[in-house]
Amino acid sequence: MEPRPLTVTEVVRNFSDYINRVAYRREAFVLCKGKKMVAELRPVQSGRRLGDLPEILSSLPRLSEGDAHAFAQDIERARRSLAREPLEDPWAS
């Protein structure tokens, strides 16, 4: 839905009404001072759908091949190092 333009004066006079429209009807507004757009009043995104996950993951930055290889080596070294440490009971006195 395209945000509807409103004057700042209109919003000030009916602030509670516009906040309710944003909160309950999920409407969005662009606030204008004169003919200049100065702010946007819109609902805050509260979450994403599971169906959005592939798009989110594809938008993340990727490691280069060299960085991915170095990362895998770091993980393997950390695993070997941890395997050499004796297990301790954290509850033992």
Contact 28, 42 (CB under 8 A): yes
| Full-model pTM | 0.49
The pLDDT value recorded for residue 10 is 95
> Which residue type sits at 17?
D
The pLDDT value recorded for residue 1 is 65
Side-chain half-sphere CA neighbours of 14 within 13 A: 10
- When pLDDT is averaged across residues 45-53 and rounded to a whole number, the result is 86
Degrees to nearest 5, angle at CA 27 with 23 and 32: 110
pLDDT at 71 over 80: yes
Report residue 10 as tokens: 């209109």
